[in-house]
Amino acid sequence: MEKKKILYIGNKLAQKGSNATAIDVLGPRLQNEGFSVVAVSDKKNKIMRFIHMMTAVISHASSSEMVLIDTYSTLNFQYAVYAARICRMKKVPYIPILHGGNLPNRLQQNKAQCKRLFGNAKVNVAPSHYLMEAFTAEGYTNLIHIPNTLEISQYPFLLRKEIKPRLLWVRSFAEIYNPTLAISVVKILRDQGMDASLTMVGPTNDATFETCKQMAAKYDISVEFTGKLPKDEWIRRSEAHDIFINTTNFDNTPVSVIEAMALGLPVVSTNVGGLPYLIESGKTGVLVPPNDAKAFADAITDLCKQEEKARSIAKNARQKVEQFDWQQVKQQWISLLSQ
C-alpha cells in the first residue's frame, strides 16, 4: 500500500537549541506508523521560517493528501492563518492542531480570522478538553480530542522516599512562562528557613533568563541553570529533585508537566488554561493561582510536611498520564489521517 503523504507545518526547532514541540515528536511517530511526512520549518529566524513554511505549502500541498498545522496563540498564530489560506486556495484539506493556551482569547478578539482558519478546516485537533470546551462555546463543531502523547516506557517512575524542597523547572525562558516566579518562590522558602534549591532547564527565548540570573545572585539563592538538555539527560537529573514547578501564565496541556507526572515528581502548577483539566488539585498535583509566589511556597511546604500525601499524588499522577502513552493514542491519529 502506498504511503499517505502528509505535509506538517510547525516550529521544528529541537535541533536548533529550542525545546521540542509537537512537530518534533508527532512527525517522526507518524512516519514510523507508515505515513510519508514532510515536516517544515527548521528555520530559527521567524521571517525566514514563515517564508520556508509558505514555500513548502505552495510546493507540497497539491501532492499531499493532508496538511497538519501546529497552531499557537501568539505571533506564530499567523503561520497557521497564511498556511491555511494557501491550502484553501489549492483545495487541500488541512487540520489545525491546537496548542496555544491563549487561543480562547484569539477566538474572541479575531472572530472573522478564526472563523476562516478553523471553520474551514477538515477538523481541528484539540489536545485538551480546555480547548475543546472553548471552541465548542464559540460554535465550532469540527473538533476532535487527541491528547499530547509520550512514550511512557521512556519515563521511569521513581517514588520519592522523602520530599525535600529540591525543585525542578523545565521550560523555555520566556515571559509567557513566568520563570522569574520560580526564583521568588525559592526566596520565600529560604526566608522561611527551608533549604530550598532550584534547577531550571530550558533554552533562552528572551530577557527573562538574565533577569532570573540577576535575581538569584541578588537573593543569594541556589539555582542551577543548565540550558537546554537532551530529554534523557534532564530525566536522569530529575532523580535528584522532589517537586516539579510550573509557573506559566498561559498554557494548554504542557508536555513537560505530563513528563514530570510520569516520572513521579509531584507537580505544583498555576491553575491557568488547560492545567485544571490535566491536574486534579490535591489528587494528581497541586494547583495555585498564577503569579502567586506565596501560594507556591505554601503548597511546596505542605508537600514536604505531608510526604505520604506527596507520594499519593505522585502515584495518582503516573496513573493519570499513562493514558497519554503513544501506544494508547496512535490509533486515533491513524484513523483520522486514513479517512
What is the mean pLDDT of the segment spanning 310-317?
99
| Residue carrying C-alpha cell 495555585 | 288
- What confidence score (pLDDT) does residue 319 get? 98
pLDDT in tens, 262-309: 999 999 999 999 999 999 999 999 999 999 999 999 999 999 999 999
Nearest of 159, 166, 156, 113 to residue 138 by alpha carbon: 113
pLDDT at 13 over 80: no
pLDDT at 2 over 70: no
As to burial, measured by CB atoms within 10 angstroms (0-12 exposed, 13-18 middle, 19+ buried), residue 109 is exposed
The domains spanning 5-146 and 152-323 adopt the same CATH topology: yes
Domain 152-323 CATH (choose: 3.40.50.2000, 3.30.565.10, 3.90.950.20, 3.40.250.10) = 3.40.50.2000
Contact 30, 333 (CB under 8 A): yes
pLDDT band (50, 70, 90) for residue 16: low
Domain boundaries, the chain: 5-146, 152-323
Q: Is 76 helix (H, G, I), strand (E, B) or coil?
A: coil
pLDDT at 21 over 90: no
pTM passes above 0.75: yes
How many whole angstroms separate alpha carbon 122 and alpha carbon 169?
37
Contact 288, 138 (CB under 8 A): no
pLDDT at 75 over 90: no
What is the mean pLDDT of the segment spanning 76-86?
95
What Å distances lie between residue 103 and 3, 72, 100, 114, 174, CA to CA? 33, 7, 5, 10, 18
Q: Is 316 helix (H, G, I), strand (E, B) or coil?
A: helix
As a whole number, the mean pLDDT across the chain is 94
What contacts 127, CB < 8 A, 6 or more positions away? 97, 98, 99, 145, 146, 147, 148, 252, 253, 274
pLDDT at 1 over 60: no
- What confidence score (pLDDT) does residue 252 get? 86
pLDDT in tens, 133-190: 999 999 999 999 999 999 999 999 999 999 999 999 999 999 999 999 999 999 999 9
pLDDT band (50, 70, 90) for residue 17: low
* Backbone dihedral angles phi then psi of residue 189, each to the nearest 5 degrees: -60, -45
pLDDT at 109 over 80: yes
What Å distances lie between residue 221 and 14, 209, 242, 243, 270, CA to CA? 30, 15, 18, 17, 22
pLDDT at 86 over 70: yes
Q: Which of 106-110, 179-183, 308-312 has the lowest mean pLDDT?
A: 106-110
pLDDT in tens, 217-268: 999 998 999 999 998 999 999 999 999 999 999 888 899 999 999 999 999 9
Q: Which CATH class is domain 5-146?
A: alpha beta
Q: Which of 14-23, 92-101, 109-118 has the lowest mean pLDDT?
A: 14-23
How many whole angstroms separate alpha carbon 249 and alpha carbon 252?
10
pLDDT in tens, 35-60: 999 999 989 898 999 999 999 999 99
Q: Count CA within 13 A, CB hemisphere, residue 261.
A: 30
pLDDT at 310 over 80: yes
- What confidence score (pLDDT) does residue 162 get? 96
What is the mean pLDDT of the segment spanning 108-128?
96
